[in-house]
Structure 1
Amino acid sequence: MNILFISNVHPTPVRPSQGTFNAELVRALTASGHAVRTIVPVPWHQRLLAWKAHRNAPDIWYPAFWYPPGVFRASYHHWMRWSIRRAASQASAGGWADAVIAFWIHPDGRFAAELARALHIPVIVIAGGSDLLVVTADPRRAREVGRTLAMADAVLAEGRHLVDRAVALGARASTTHVFRRGVDGSRFSPGSQLAARQALGLSADDQVVLWAGNMVAIKGVDLLVRAHAQLAEPRPLLALIGDGPERRSLELLTADLGTGGRVRFIGRLPHDQLVIWYRAADLFALPSLSEGTPNVLQEASACGLPFVAADVGAVSELATAADRVVSSRDPAEFGAAIADVLATAGERHGKEAVPRPWTAAIEQIERILAETGRVDGHATT
């Protein structure tokens, strides 16, 4: 089947760590025998700063997404249509596409639904989480999200709570499904903690708490920093992988708390380099205010690493007996859960978590597309 994938949440030449889970999805589709072309709308200000770097490559387009920053968000699908229609025309020329898949409901999913309707092919829209739970706080944006959900042939959401939210906003219950992404077990698997620490220059005697993601307010990293400050001496090393607008305030917070010497800001890393950190750590912490089904927890678990996480999204569905799910936003309680897991850190490799393979995720997508009336890229009659 020929599939056109559309999402602004995807790695770009200048932001290679952005949306790696979508790049993994595209790779998995390709590995399953599908031909995939990808359109990644790049915010215009990023495109202007690195115009030459965003050259189109075979089967991938990086059109500039022109929009008024911070205002008229409910109309962003109009701006996206104007911005990327040429790329979409090129990618689907000659009736190439059999189906469209989009990640992020609005505006990406809306444009994808309109395009699929014009091409008379099915469209699957994948929800990210915040596009259902956060952006819909604006009533006008919520209406456009609802219209998009109603237009889609199928909606995939990473957790039952997101499925329920999508249906409440306008998606059809019969075509809205819980979707679990896969994990590449050939890369994310248990390994020697000592070897990983030697490779990273970490002490074999330290306990290490790991976090990875975008340093934005909704990720709640300040809660983790405050919880870390309440842990008893010798305090574990807190390794923070990622970057974002909250980084400077987090650095200042560690200084105010007097824990700067035990907190390392690693910065952004390529996705492939996360596995060595998963193997080196004793615990993964996820203090987010909102999530779907966090990929980092699935990857950490695949490496045998237990987690302590806020009780958001589908986190509780991923937890095993080795993990802790915390409903409170109190740093003391989050810290107590961390201390509890660290107390049995020597048993961490006993954690058994069987990650969902990508083949299972792709088979689900194939079944859903078949149910829309297209099988193996040909319309049924």
Structure 2
Amino acid sequence: MRNSSLRVLSFTTLFPNQQQPAHGLFVKERILALARLVDLRVVAPVPWFPRTRIFGERYYRYAMVPLKENCTGTPVEHPRFPVIPRLCKTIDGPLLAAGSRSCLRKIREAFPFDIIDAHWAYPDGVAAAILAGRFRVPLAITVRGDDINIFLKEFWRKPWIRWSLGKADLIIALSRELKDIVVTTGVAPSKVVVIPNGINPEIFHPVDRKLARARLGLPADARIVLSVGRLHRSKGYPVLVEAAARLSGKFPDLHVHIVGSPDHEADARPAIIAAATRGHIAQRVHLIGAQDPGTMKYWYSAADVFCLATSREGSANVLIEAMACGLPCVTTPVGGNPEAVNSTDVGILCAPDVDSMSQALATGLTRQWDRERIAAHGQSRTWQTVAAECRDHLSTVLDPSFRLIARDL
């Protein structure tokens, strides 16, 4: 049911734009699903630095992002906030707030938003906390993964994050693990709710394996292990490759396909190539690069097993997407992974080491799986379900009795 009386301002630097159409897709999906249930505007600031390629292509392209866009009927504003690449990161939150304040003031004149819905703890959550205080509205912050798993351990980000979480009226965590970490900062457990991500079943659903492999040009009779995600060292791709190398004798037709874009901070490609070379399977490890979301159902449907050997996680949508396409998953018990792969009928949880991973993959490749059951499990949580849960919790924050209780806590 739509609540047109609830006016939400979603605030995030993790949102696609004309120059970065694949940026923050999971944030976009949740926000747009929520926009179907409430009145919503999006403010998605982008960094500003004099147009140059000295610091890479990213900052050059930021300058070309339009100030306003429309995303499937939802207005999106892209105010600029000043940054110094690689330096002065301790003030990114205040700079983000300063760069966005004028934009929010203009929006508020025509759209008197009731609450700021921020995504990512730093700098987004910090800036949103400053702005919520300035405009005297409640604040919700969604924590998603590395913003808590990594940033909260860094001495120069930690004080800011703890401050902003303390200011929030509601914190949405994508997994129970993230909630537990947030609570250790002193936040009352009653202020933290767990709302995992979802999927769009119209995009992610099973396709006949033969047709999928033919479309992608893959061998019809090979055994295929698929992994998907940005090529960051934390995702454990070398562990996957080494585990596959150990199985090459048992499965001489085994191939590993990794779909994902390079990561500019911690590029895993050199380690992946080195592991494949050491294991003498370089010809059977394929780095596919980023793929359009519309083609991913073919990759998931073409594979025999999905593997995510990650060492840390928030809520890995790739697991839900893989299962929605009927693909069994092998992954590690970190972040929201145990909540996604919550039954041996849909996958296997194992430690993030080569021995455990090779054993789990061997089991996954030889077991007869009920792919219809796996698909039903993966498709059970949609973005509309997620959005309805978010709407209900955001509405609760605006209840005066709730705000009195939260303030006393």
Fold shared per TM-score above 0.5: yes
1:156 aligns with 2:172: yes
**Whole-Å Cα distance in 1 between the matches of residues 97 and 246 of structure 2?**
50
- Distance in structure 2 (CA, Å) of the matches to 1:360 and 1:158: 14
1: CA distance, partners of 2:115 / 2:194: 20
Unmatched 5+ stretches in structure 1: 376-381
Aligned residue number for residue 312 of structure 1: 334
Report whether the alignment pairs 1:52 with 2:70. Answer: no
Greater CA deviation, 59-68 or 282-291?
A: 59-68
What is the one-letter code of the residue matched to 2:95?
Answer: W
1:369 aligns with 2:394: yes
1:273 aligns with 2:295: yes
Which segment drifts farther, 78-87 or 356-365? 78-87
| Cα distance change, pair 76–31 in 1 and its aligned pair in 2 (3 A) | same
CA shift in 2, pair 1:53/1:120, >3 Å:
closer
Contact 2:47 2:62 in 1 (8 A): no
Say how many residue pairs are matched. 374
- Partners in 2 of 1:133 and 1:256 — Cα distance? 31
Local SS of the residue matching 1:171: coil
Aligned counterpart, 2:113: 97
Specify the code of the residue in structure 1 equivalent to 2:356: E
User: 1:29 aligned to 2:34?
Assistant: yes
How far the C-alpha of 1:220 sits from its partner, in A, is 1.8
Q: Which residue of 1 aligns with 2:136?
A: 120
Alignment correspondent of 1:379: none
Aligned partners of 2:95 and 2:202: how far apart in 1?
40
- Alignment of 1:16 onto 2:24: no
Counterpart residue number, 2:365 = 342
Asked if 1:4 is matched to 2:4, the reply is no
Separation of aligned partners in 2, 1:134 and 1:48: 27
State whether residues 184 and 358 of structure 1, in contact with CA within 8 Å, keep that contact through their aligned partners in structure 2. Answer: yes
Letter of the structure 2 residue corresponding to residue 96 of structure 1 = P
Name the residue aligned to 1:169: 185
**Are residues 310 and 346 of structure 1, via their aligned partners in 2, closer, same or farther at CA, if it must alter by over 3 Å?**
closer
How do residues 222-233 of structure 1 correspond to structure 2 at under 5 angstroms?
Answer: 222-232=238-248, 233=251
CA contact (8 A) 2:34 2:390 kept: no
Q: How does 1:165-314 map to 2 (within 5 A)?
A: 165-232=181-248, 233-244=251-262, 245-314=267-336
Report the alpha carbon displacement of residue 54 of structure 1 after superposing the two structures with TM: 4.3
SS at the partner of 1:255? helix
Secondary structure of the corresponding residue to residue 361 of structure 2 = helix
Q: Aligned letter for 1:116?
A: A
Aligned-residue offset at 1:349: 4.1
Unaligned runs of 5+ in 2: 1-5, 50-54, 401-409
- Cα separation, 2, equivalents of 1:88 and 1:163: 29
Q: Distance in 2 between matches of 1:302 and 1:43?
A: 39
Please report the TM-score for the alignment, with normalisation by the length of structure 2.
0.85
Q: CA RMSD in A?
A: 2.2
Q: Which residue of 2 aligns with 1:142?
A: 158
Output the amino acid matched with 2:324: A
Percent identity among equivalent residues? 25
Say yes or no: does 1:355 pair with 2:380.
yes
Q: 1:43 to 1:191 in 2, by over 3 A?
A: farther
CA distance in 2, matches of 1:7, 1:33: 18
Q: Distance in 2 between matches of 1:215 and 1:282?
A: 21
